[in-house]
Amino acid sequence: MELWILITFASAFLQNMRSGLQKYLKGRMATLGATFTRFGFGLPFAALYLAILVFGLGREIPSPNEAFAIWALIGAFSQIGATFLLVYLFSFRNFAVGTAYSRTEPAQAAIIAFLFFGAQISFVAIVAIVISVSGVMLISLSRNAAGVRPFLGGLASRTAAIGIGSGTLFALSAVAYRAASLSLAGSLERPDSVMQAAFTLLVVITVQTVSMGVWMLVFNRDELTNVFKAWKPALAVGFVGATASFGWFTAMTLQQAALVKAVAQVEMLLSLATSAIIFRERITKPELAGCSLIVIGVLVLLVS
């Protein structure tokens, strides 16, 4: 099994853990604050990873260039925008439909990579992406008591537009992160995917922390206070989130973002397992069908 696949599986596991921790933080602060912890408290750990690579393992620091700066900024702000749109969906009664449309991220990443870089994906891989995305969307709809009919008939709705927009921005951020990381290879004596990913992560998470921190300082100081009051659990979110991001960035340096995101759909399986084992929630038949589609899609992708 290729290295990027193992890294993706590990990152999906860590991201599921981070989501659970952020759910716990939601009881102590608003969504904006819980989102900020992912970046603000992840920054020290991103810096630590880079320091270990440089000072502990003697790896060469890449030199950023104009292409890196452009793609890193695009990725950082696209991810923030995507997160805000996803959160905004929850203010609508039929938010489940929009959330399901946001799950088209892997497919949109393939389209964006083709448009910007001419990246080619095999027909079998495209079929695998469609299958896994269908499974995730089915689970999203069944979890929120939305049927297939409102999903198919809601393409022109506002929530669908917001959901697709969120998926587009998430896909754009993934493609941008890969482009930023790959642009660093030319500044090294030999390409180093781990170092390129660590450097990209540190720059991106710094931009996100500063921009969100300034926003909260100017417009929502009370929420910023709540964040620092909950610093202990927030540190756990930061560590797990930064570790997961380090894995994502490394995997997307090694492989196309669309394929990484398709394999990453296994996170939904981990989420369902957590619900069933820890919270004793019943898994419905549509959810089982969605799980089967995800497994089939990922297996087809891995075999191809």
Side-chain half-sphere exposure of 281, counting CA atoms within 13 A = 11
Tell me the average pLDDT across 179-195.
92
Best CA proximity match to 165, nearest among 80, 283, 82, 72: 82
Q: Which residues, 6 or more positions from 113, have their beta carbon under 8 angstroms from its beta carbon? A: 119, 121, 175, 178, 256, 257, 258
How many other CB atoms are found less than 10 A from the CB of residue 2?
11
Q: What is the pLDDT of residues 60-71, one digit of tens each?
A: 999 999 999 999
Which pLDDT belongs to residue 157? 64
Q: Give the residue-averaged pLDDT of 81-108.
A: 71
Q: Using N-to-C axis directions, what is the helix angle for 43-51 and 231-254, rounded to 10°? A: 50
C-beta of residue 258 within 8 angstroms of C-beta of residue 121: yes
Domain count, the chain: 1
Range of the domain at 260: 3-303
Work out the pLDDT band at 28, boundaries 50, 70, 90. Answer: confident
Q: Which two tokens stand for residue 110?
A: 């393939």
C-alpha span between 126 and 168 (Å, rounded): 17
Q: What percent of the chain has pLDDT over 90?
A: 37
Amino acid occupying residue 149: R
Query: Using 50, 70 and 90 to split pLDDT, how confident is the model at 182?
Result: very high
Average pLDDT over residues 134-144: 71
Task: Using pLDDT thresholds of 50, 70 and 90, give the confidence band for residue 210.
Answer: very high
Looking at residue 99, its pLDDT comes to 62
At residue 272, does pLDDT exceed 80?
no
pLDDT in tens, 224-258: 888 888 888 889 888 998 999 999 999 999 999 98
